[in-house]
Amino acid sequence: MKTYDVVIVGGGFTGLTAAYVLAKNGKSVKLLESEGEPGGLAGTFQFADHVKVEKFYHHWFNNDLFVPELVKELGLEGDITLHATQTGMYFNGRIWKLSSPLDVLRFEALSLVDRIRLGLLVFQVRKVKDWKKIEHLSVREWLEPLCGSKVYKVVWEPLLKAKFSIYSEEINAVWMWKKLALRGSTRNRKGGEQLAYFKGGFGRLSQVLVNAIEDLGGSVELNQKVVSVKTDGDRIQSLETKDKSIAGVQFIFTPALPIIADILEGVVDSASLSKLRRVNYLGNICLVVRLNRSLSSTYWLNVNDPGFPFVGVIEHTNFDSPANYEGLHVVYLSRYVAPEDEVWKLNDEAYFNDAIMHLKKMFPTLEQNWIVDYRIWRAEFAQPITEKGYSGYVPSQDTPFANAWISTMAQIYPEDRGTNYAIRDGYRIAERVTKI
């Protein structure tokens, strides 16, 4: 049996970047991915006519540094595209633009005083320089006194409920602070924003990475779910899949923490397992619909109306041209739910019918014959829940083993998950492992 220098679990952007950097650093690398495609949460699928698109909507921001850096290193800088996008908010039966100070002043759902309070919020947010000082507060405890209860109720509470479902009151203030501070800095004075994409999508980018790893002598194996490990004292010797054993000198785990806990069950003590299982996650159900007509000119529509079950309606082809999707329009309806929620268990047809019924209420001109095709994707560990005092309980990269480390989405903090930080952490863990 070959012994690899480094064996990596997970072929999302963290694992792929780590494998690429390690292979570049001269290590023999093996990456094991349970799915049939690389890319993880940023992976793609094909409709029946071979049109490829992400399972879950993806873009990156114009102030993200690590995705463009990697793309440049891969020699494909010319394939980065920037697109001006429109964002909006659906509330009280209509779409409101809320990007610029002028849009905020026109937002009649609030009184003039409250509109001004909403507009001034960005300056209050910028005053916070040290996130640790607000980590003990929930978003409500921090934000409501700053913007007032009416603004909180109309603008922020519905968004939090839609995004964090049963955890909306648990999430700590840092998440909101980062979002407001980061998004504020990506907009120009008129509120416009350019978002970035890779030609052919994140699926193509992940395949480019796989090819680069293989060109450097590394190996990526798909459809290989790691189920357990074999150990010797304080070292892991090999990873076990249904039909294989893969030996290594060093190991990196990149899946969600509860999956890592399941893999390590039986070989680490119960305190370590409890720590891995302490971080809660929400799942995401994403309906991807292809239409022969466009719904609106908005790319990203936050849904703040409590009668609607999605956090967002994202018309991808208002970002990347319909010409890249056989002229059809691609729309995502995103919903975050706890996997114990009844909605999680609905079959695709029942979920689709309910979602389209709601979409028709939002867009009354939408006719059934606009719908060409659809797919539904579910990710159980889509969003880590950063509760109060998160930095005190999120597991570190170290494991009870001297030759194994964890680099996972839940460790991205105080930033929120994203491919940009997955790539950053892939670089970091690879550099750390190379030095040992």
Ligand X SMILES: Cc1cc2nc3c(=O)[nH]c(=O)nc-3n(C[C@H](O)[C@H](O)[C@H](O)COP(=O)(O)OP(=O)(O)OC[C@H]3O[C@@H](n4cnc5c(N)ncnc54)[C@H](O)[C@@H]3O)c2cc1C
Footprint of ligand X on this chain (CB under 6 A)?
9-15, 32-35, 40-42, 56-60, 225-226, 254-255, 259, 284, 286, 334, 379, 382, 409, 417-420, 422
Q: Which is nearer to ligand X, 4 or 13 (CB)?
A: 13
Q: Which is nearer to ligand X, 404 or 409 (CB)?
A: 409
Q: Which is nearer to ligand X, 417 or 428 (CB)?
A: 417
CA distance 430 to 252: 9
The backbone torsions φ and ψ at residue 326, rounded to the nearest 5 degrees and listed phi first, read 55, 30
Q: Which is nearer to ligand X, 42 or 404 (CB)?
A: 42
How far is the CA of 232 from the CAs of 206, 237, 243, 402, in angstroms?
Answer: 34, 6, 21, 11
CA distance 138 to 344: 26
CB of 224 to ligand X, least distance (A): 6
CB of 13 to ligand X, least distance (A): 4
Query: 310: which strand partners?
Result: none
CB of 88 to ligand X, least distance (A): 17
Smallest CA-to-CA distance from 418 within 58, 11, 52 is with 58
CB of 344 to ligand X, least distance (A): 14
Query: 46: which strand partners?
Result: 52
What is the Rg, in whole angstroms, of the alpha carbon atoms belonging to the chain?
A: 22
CB of 104 to ligand X, least distance (A): 24
Contacts 24+ apart (CB under 8 A), 155-160: 155/89, 155/110, 155/118, 155/304, 158/91, 158/303, 158/304, 158/305, 158/306, 159/302, 159/304, 159/311
CB of 259 to ligand X, least distance (A): 5
Smallest CA-to-CA distance from 392 within 178, 136, 138, 128 is with 136
CB 253 within 8 A of CB 405: yes
CA distance 203 to 43: 5
Strands (E), 94-154: 94-96
* Residues recorded for the chain: 436
CB of 119 to ligand X, least distance (A): 26
CB of 9 to ligand X, least distance (A): 5
Q: Which is nearer to ligand X, 13 or 308 (CB)?
A: 13
CB of 393 to ligand X, least distance (A): 19
CB of 309 to ligand X, least distance (A): 15
CB 335 within 8 A of CB 310: yes
Residue type, 112: L
Q: Which is nearer to ligand X, 117 or 290 (CB)?
A: 290
Helices within 224-314 (DSSP H only): 257-264, 270-278
How far is the CA of 419 from the CAs of 63, 281, 287, 392, in angstroms?
Answer: 13, 18, 21, 24
